[in-house]
Amino acid sequence: MTKGPLGFGWMRLPVLSDDPTDIDFEEVNQMVDEFLDAGFTYFDTSFVYHNGKSENAIRKCLVSRHDRDSYTIASKLPIFTITEEQQVVDIFEKQLENCGVDYFDYFLLHNMNWIRYNDEVKRCHMFEHLKQWKDEGKIRHIGFSYHDDAESLDKILAEHPEIEFVQIALNYIDWDSYFIQAKACYDVIRKHGRQVIVMEPVKGGMLAKAPAEVEAMMKEAEPDMSVASWAIRFAASLPGVLTVLSGMSDLAQVEDNISYMQDFRPLSEEDLELLEKANRLYRESGPVETADFSKYECIDPKGVSAAAILDAYNNCMLQPVVTFGAEGNYFSLQKAEQGVAVEDRCIPGQAIASDGTDVTEQVHEAEDFLTKCAFAQYEPMAQE
């Protein structure tokens, strides 16, 4: 029996009310026990998940109930909240206390991108702190989670050979997306010889449900496997993947993941062909009603094309919570990196596709939506 690289993400734990800090510890205890009993060990948390209470839940439901050598813990330093170097040290020490551990097996700088790398990360010497904590035995392995393009990732990894792994959003919908660039980022990480941790393999729950035609294809190929299993197995089948994080929200999801990851079979060529078709059908079911955005690539007056904007908007609209997609963050970052102010549009005028179609209204609607839903906004970078 070969176990698949399954990790337990603690961003979407079961709760007893609308308050994200009101965690259902009784159910989480059951989820932890079942996960460990099945032979899986990787738990992923962060200083900010569940409004700052996810790490405390790790201490309560995992650390206080199981031997330290029976699991591995990953947590993340919230670089997006840090303005002074002393905060780096203070928050890290608080994280150890929150989790009730003396060391982290894996520790990451949380939500790296090119702008943050050249500002807070360098100014507060975050990589230097990671290396020091590793030397002191407070961290076993160091890395970062990443939300930006492959070109910038290549530069960061070239400058930091000490980094052992990178966590990226990766699934079969985002594999060739304009903003998230899952395949391109994966290829860069592997080129540098680092390991990959996969987040968002089910894309915020989007890939746990499928258009009727997609679900029928999947059930015909694997009658006993869930729709979500196809997304998890796609990521887990890639070489160099250390773990695939599933943000499990109830015991049933733990049991489902275990059912196909405990005796893992990588996807076949036929399976991958099925997912190519599924990708197309998913995208065609969105409001833009296409999987091919190439005719919009010519609309690019300020460096961010209408193809990327419409692709991102289309994918957001297909997710269970349309305002929670990561696409808005990628869009705001790309605007800034192209020198476009937050209040300005990337495509302010008329938008005419290469086939002559006028998509001005739809592009403006998409831009406005992505701007509104971005978790962070960035000052425009000076253009060289």
| Same structural domain, 257 and 328 | no
**Which structural domain range is residue 356 located in?**
288-373
Phi, psi of 293 (to 5 degrees): -100, 10
**Residue 374: enclosing H or E segment and its boundaries?**
none
| Same structural domain, 120 and 218 | yes
Average pLDDT over residues 190-201: 98
| Same structural domain, 160 and 265 | yes
| Same structural domain, 213 and 189 | yes
| pLDDT, averaged across the chain | 96
| Same structural domain, 166 and 301 | no
Flag whether pLDDT at 108 surpasses 90: yes
Asked if the structure places residue 379 within a domain, the reply is no
Using pLDDT thresholds of 50, 70 and 90, give the confidence band for residue 375. Answer: confident
CB 272 within 8 A of CB 40: no
CATH number at residue 168: 3.20.20.100
Q: What is the pLDDT of residues 119-169, one digit of tens each?
A: 999 999 999 999 999 999 999 999 999 999 999 999 999 999 999 999 999
Flag whether pLDDT at 1 surpasses 80: no
pLDDT at 156: 98
CA angle 301, 299, 361 (to 5 degrees): 105
Q: What is the pLDDT of residues 39-95, one digit of tens each?
A: 999 999 999 999 999 999 999 999 999 999 999 999 999 999 999 999 999 999 999
- Sign of the Cα torsion 244, 250, 254, 257 reads negative
DSSP per position, 14-70: -BSSS-TT-B-HHHHHHHHHHHHHTT--EEE--SSHHHHTHHHHHIIIIITTS-GGG
Asked if the structure places residue 1 within a domain, the reply is no
Of 225, 249, 275, which marks where a domain is finished?
275
| Same structural domain, 266 and 134 | yes
Average pLDDT over residues 195-205: 96
Q: What is the pLDDT of residues 203-223, one digit of tens each?
A: 999 999 999 999 999 999 999
| Same structural domain, 252 and 331 | no
Using pLDDT thresholds of 50, 70 and 90, give the confidence band for residue 381. Answer: confident
CB 204 within 8 A of CB 324: yes
Residue type at position 210: A
DSSP per position, 227-296: HHHHHHHHHHTSTTEEEEEE---SHHHHHHHHHHHTT--PPPHHHHHHHHHHHHHHHHTSTT--S--GGG
CA angle 377, 382, 384 (to 5 degrees): 140
Flag whether pLDDT at 384 surpasses 70: no
Could you give the CA distance from residue 38 to residue 70 in angstroms, rounded to a whole number?
12
Could you give the CA distance from residue 147 to residue 163 in angstroms, rounded to a whole number?
16
| Same structural domain, 248 and 304 | no
| Same structural domain, 295 and 165 | no
Flag whether pLDDT at 379 surpasses 90: no
| Same structural domain, 300 and 193 | no
| Same structural domain, 247 and 142 | yes
| Same structural domain, 261 and 199 | yes
| % of the chain residues with pLDDT over 90 | 96
User: Alpha helices of 117-169 — where are they, by DSSP H?
Assistant: 122-123, 126-135, 150-159
- Among residues 15, 32, 25, 142, the alpha carbon closest in space to that of 76 is found at 142
For the question of whether the overall pTM of this predicted structure is more than 0.85, the answer is yes
Of 211, 245, 275, which marks where a domain is finished?
275
pLDDT at 111: 96
Could you give the CA distance from residue 64 to residue 307 in angstroms, rounded to a whole number?
50
pLDDT at 257: 97
pLDDT at 356: 97
- Among residues 184, 89, 105, the alpha carbon closest in space to that of 138 is found at 105
Q: What is the pLDDT of residues 245-294, one digit of tens each?
A: 999 999 999 999 999 999 999 999 999 999 999 999 999 999 999 999 99
Could you give the CA distance from residue 46 to residue 92 in angstroms, rounded to a whole number?
11
Number of domain units in the chain: 2
Q: What is the pLDDT of residues 316-359, one digit of tens each?
A: 999 999 998 899 999 999 999 999 999 999 999 999 999 999 99
Count of alpha carbons within 13 Å of 184, Cβ hemisphere only?
A: 15
Using pLDDT thresholds of 50, 70 and 90, give the confidence band for residue 383. Answer: low
> Would you state the structure tokens that stand for residue 128, as one six-digit string?
């230097």
